[in-house]
Structure formats: C-alpha cells, structure tokens
Amino acid sequence: MGNEEAVFFSRVLTELTLSFHIIYATIGVGIPLMIMIAQWVGIRKNDEHYILLARRWARGFVITVAVGVVTGTAIGLQLSLLWPNFMELAGNVIALPLFMETFAFFFEAIFLGIYLYTWDRFENQKKHLLLLIPVAIGASFSAVFITIVNAFMNAPQGFDLVNGELININPILAMFNPAMPTKVAHVVVTAYMTSAFVLASIAAFRLLKGSNHVYHKKALFLTLKLGLIFSIAAAIIGDFSGKYLAEYQPEKLAAAEWHFETEENASLIMYGILEDGEVKYAIEIPYALSVLAHGDPFAEVIGLDQFSEDEIPPLYIHYLFDLMVSIGMGLTFLSGLYVFATWRRWSFVQTKWFRWLLVAGGPLAMLAIEAGWWMAEVGRQPWILRGIMRTEDAATTSGQVDIMLVLFAGLYLILGVGSVVVLRRMFRKNPVEQEIEDRRKEQEGDFS
C-alpha cells in the first residue's frame, strides 16, 4: 500500500470513528444536565414523576455512556496510530487540554458509578442530586477540553516555527486560541439542545403509541422548553461562529457559502446545486452574507479568489452547512410553537401529525450535529494544522490501515445495533406505568 492509500484510509477510518463517536458523545454531554434538571424539578415541586424521569433517563444513559467511553478510547488512540506525525508535532503544544480532558472524564466516571448505585441509599434526595453535579460538570468539561484541541487545529498559535523547529511554546496561549470561544460554546450548547430533542422524541413517541400518561406529557413539555432555550443559544453562537470564520478562516466560510469573488454587499446563497462551477436553483438573499460575516450589510467579504487552488476546501460543504442551519432553525421554530401553544392551550400540538414532527426532532438534531462536524472538519482541508501541516504529511506510513478500517466498521456495526436493541428492550419490558405501580407497592410494603 502506497502512502497515498494510507492517507485515504486513515481519513476514512478517522471520519468513521468520529461520526460514530459523536452520536454517543453528544448524548453523553447533554443527558447528565437533563437528568440533573429533572431531579431538581422533582425535588422542588415534590413530584415523583420528575424523579422517575431522572431515574429512567439515567438507566438508559448508562448504555450510551458505555459506547461513548469505548469509542472515545478508540479515537484517542487512533490519533496517534493514524496520525503519528501530527501528534508528534502538535503534542508539544496541545497536550495540556488533552490531558485535562482525561481528568474531566475520570471525574465523571467516578461520580457516575456512585450516582447509579446509590439510588434510595440517602434519606435526603438532595444529597443524591449533589452527586449529579460532578457528573454533569465532568461531562461538559470533557467536551470543552477536547473541543479546545480541535479549535487549536483550526487556529494554531502559542508557538513559533523556526526552520521546522518549535520554539517559545506557550500551552495556555495555545488553549485560548481565537477559534476556541465560539467552537466550545457551540459544541456544548448544541449537545444540550440535541439531548433535549432526543428525549422529547421519546416522550412524543410514547404518547403516540397509546400511552397517555401524564408522565410523558410532563417529560415532553420540560424537554421542549429546554430544547427551545438551547436552540436559541445555538443560533446566537452560530452567528458568532460565522463572524469568527470571516475574520480568521475566510476560506472555510467562502467555501461553505459558495462565495467565489471578494466583494462588498455580499449576498447569501441558500440551497441550490453547483454544476460545472455554476450555482443553480439557489435562493439569494442580498447583503445577508456581509451581515453574517461582519454585522454590516456593506462590508467586504473575502472570496475563494484570494486563495490558491490547493488551499481551497471541497465545495460540497455548502450542502452540509445548509442542512445544519435549516434543521437548527426548524427545531427552534418547532419547539417555540409547542411551548407557546401549550401555554395558550391550543390543542393542535396534541394531534398526531404534530407529535410525529416532534418524534422526528431528535434524529434531525443528531443529523445536524453530524453535518456541522463534517462541515467544520472538511472545511479546514487541506490542512490538519491550518497553515502549518497538510493532512497528507501527517498520516501513518503503515500498510495495514485498510484492514483496520474493515475491523472497526464491523465493531461500530455491532455496537450500534447492540445499543439500540438493549435500549429498546429495557424500556419495552418495563413501561413507566408498570414502574410507577411497582414503586407504589414497594412503598406500601414498607408501611405494613
């Protein structure tokens, strides 16, 4: 196998691992916060339903955490196995957040174990709630630190490269690179948002499938309120991300927006297809790109004409960008409508078709996460370290990457199918009506 093939298969394997991992990782970052909120609401309102909600979410969460942990271990090692030259160079500058990420992960793992095995052990439920705080903090901070590593790859700083040697290294400066604030905020908030919509999907699905229990209605209303808050936050931060790109990574923004020529009063191109260098069927919104990039309708936006051919990312990222933004906007609208209509007691939100829309919300949010990551990652091609190291120079020289790709693809298939089957079985066998009944009997038993 030549080096070119090794680079190709390394890319595919990394993309496969990350695409699979972020499904579980996103859930892993968001769900602990949701559990914490449900538990807190339950204690405050003295409502058993919310406590039960937290408990059932926690039980399902363990399964997704397990897959998240093992695939996270996989990508952690693959960074060095598939991109040894990159890690050798970048490790000198960016090891600190990578190291801190494992601490956050450690912290979460310890308290998650304690939390899961101490239900009913404490007389005071508030003590049990306290255990969730380190779990949620650990989960969110893993995301923060690992996203800092990724932000560094987009905007490397904190060192000087003189004759191929790294000098004047400053690990703190490397962590607080320009890409970091928007990236970290966007990743964390969209993880919360996606988790809220995934949980809302489940509640809506149960309501559709015959259970009319008030438990599911409470779950749906709570998660969609949270979903609305986080999707608005995601949109605002998304706008900041656009402004960051215009300032520091104009080639990514230009490729995502099909902005070929540098101009003032730049218009935004939505949807459409690209054929032989010509954009067709697109919706053009005048001045919008200038607003997105600089907050000024007349500002100049740098186009792809400023970059040489071999430094331009693939133009298909435009479709990914559209997909992400459309889903984000759609979900904000959908959850806003639901919350407003519930508040005004409009009954159409309880119709079948509307509930099917809510069921679709979770998977769509996850699709938006994937599309967003693909756009962000493909958008920095051809660089692995923007402006410093090209991807093809970073890959392994080993000849066995293709076989490993097949093995890992098999692994993810098994894990994906396994987790879905187990989760379905867990909740099918023990519907909430049954569990409420069981707990009632248990408590009565205590008194006799």
Partner 1 sequence: MTLEIIGISVLWMFLFGYVIVASIDFGAGFFNAYNTLTRREHILTNIIQRYLSPVWEVTNVFLVFFFVGVIGFFPKTAFYYGTTLLVPASIAIILLALRGSYYAFATYGTNGHKGYTFMYGITGLFIPASLSTVLTISEGGFISMVKGNPVLDYWELFSSPLTWSIVVLSLVAVLYISAVFLTWYANKAGDHSATELLRKYALIWAIPTMITASGIIFELRGHNPEHYARILDLWWVFGISFLMFVGTVWLIWKRKNYGLAFGLLAAQFALAFFGYGVSHYPYLLYPYLTIYDSFTNEAMAIALIVAFIAGLGLLLPSLYLLLRLFLFNKDYVRGNKDNHA
Closest-CA residue to 301 (of 336, 267, 344): 267
Residue from 4, 5, 91, 346 binding partner 1 (CB under 8 A):
91
Measured from the CB atom, the residue of 80 and 351 that comes closer to partner 1 is 80
Can you say how many angstroms the Cα of residue 8 is from the centroid of all Cα atoms in its chain?
A: 25
Measured from the CB atom, the residue of 89 and 179 that comes closer to partner 1 is 89
Residue from 4, 88, 160, 296 binding partner 1 (CB under 8 A):
88
| DSSP for residue 266 | P
Examine residue 98 and tell whether it contacts partner 1 (CB under 8 A).
yes
Residue from 106, 298, 333, 340 binding partner 1 (CB under 8 A):
106
- One-character DSSP codes across 311-343: GPPPTTHHHHHHHHHHHHHHHHHHHHHHHHHHH
Examine residue 80 and tell whether it contacts partner 1 (CB under 8 A).
yes
Examine residue 147 and tell whether it contacts partner 1 (CB under 8 A).
no
d(CA 83, CA 80): 5
Examine residue 420 and tell whether it contacts partner 1 (CB under 8 A).
no
Residue from 170, 306, 351, 443 binding partner 1 (CB under 8 A):
170
Question: 3-18 burial by CB neighbour count: b if 16+ within 10 A, else e?
Answer: eeebbbbbbebbeebb
Question: Is residue 367 within 8 Å of residue 323, measured between CB atoms?
Answer: yes
Query: Residue 326 is encoded by which pair of tokens?
Result: 């459309």
- Restricted to residues 296-315, the positions that interact with partner 1 (CB under 8 A) are none
Instruction: Provide the terminal-to-terminal Cα distance of the chain, rounded to the nearest Å.
Output: 74
- Restricted to residues 12-71, the positions that interact with partner 1 (CB under 8 A) are 55, 58-59, 62-63, 65-67, 69-71
Examine residue 431 and tell whether it contacts partner 1 (CB under 8 A).
no
Measured from the CB atom, the residue of 285 and 414 that comes closer to partner 1 is 414
Examine residue 273 and tell whether it contacts partner 1 (CB under 8 A).
no
Helix, strand, coil % over all residues of the chain, rounded to 5 = 75, 5, 20
Examine residue 130 and tell whether it contacts partner 1 (CB under 8 A).
no
Measured from the CB atom, the residue of 87 and 288 that comes closer to partner 1 is 87
> Which one of the spans 183-191, 332-340, 345-353, 419-427 is the region binding partner 1 (CB under 8 A)?
419-427
Examine residue 340 and tell whether it contacts partner 1 (CB under 8 A).
no
Examine residue 118 and tell whether it contacts partner 1 (CB under 8 A).
yes
Within 10 angstroms of residue 277's Cβ, the number of other Cβ atoms is: 7
Examine residue 129 and tell whether it contacts partner 1 (CB under 8 A).
no
d(CA 51, CA 382): 49
- Restricted to residues 149-168, the positions that interact with partner 1 (CB under 8 A) are 166
> Which one of the spans 79-87, 198-206, 377-385, 439-447 is the region binding partner 1 (CB under 8 A)?
79-87
Q: How far is the CB of 69 from partner 1 (least distance, A)?
A: 6
Closest-CA residue to 219 (of 332, 364, 51): 51
What are 30's strand-pairing partners?
A: none
- Amino acid identity, position 183: K
For the four alpha carbons of 87, 89, 95 and 97, in that order, the dihedral sign comes to negative
Residue from 31, 33, 39, 111 binding partner 1 (CB under 8 A):
111
d(CA 65, CA 199): 15
Measured from the CB atom, the residue of 18 and 365 that comes closer to partner 1 is 18
402 sits in which H/E element:
helix 401-429
- Please name the residues in contact with 317: beta carbons below 8 A apart, sequence gap of 6 or more: 252, 255, 256, 374, 375, 378, 379
Examine residue 400 and tell whether it contacts partner 1 (CB under 8 A).
yes
Question: Is residue 193 within 8 Å of residue 227, measured between CB atoms?
Answer: yes
Examine residue 103 and tell whether it contacts partner 1 (CB under 8 A).
yes
Within 10 angstroms of residue 385's Cβ, the number of other Cβ atoms is: 22
Residue from 100, 196, 255, 325 binding partner 1 (CB under 8 A):
100
Residue from 283, 285, 407, 413 binding partner 1 (CB under 8 A):
407
3 state DSSP class of 160: strand
Examine residue 119 and tell whether it contacts partner 1 (CB under 8 A).
yes
Examine residue 102 and tell whether it contacts partner 1 (CB under 8 A).
yes
Can you say how many angstroms the Cα of residue 429 is from the centroid of all Cα atoms in its chain?
A: 30
Measured from the CB atom, the residue of 30 and 328 that comes closer to partner 1 is 30
Measured from the CB atom, the residue of 69 and 315 that comes closer to partner 1 is 69
Residue from 8, 40, 47, 85 binding partner 1 (CB under 8 A):
85
Examine residue 77 and tell whether it contacts partner 1 (CB under 8 A).
yes
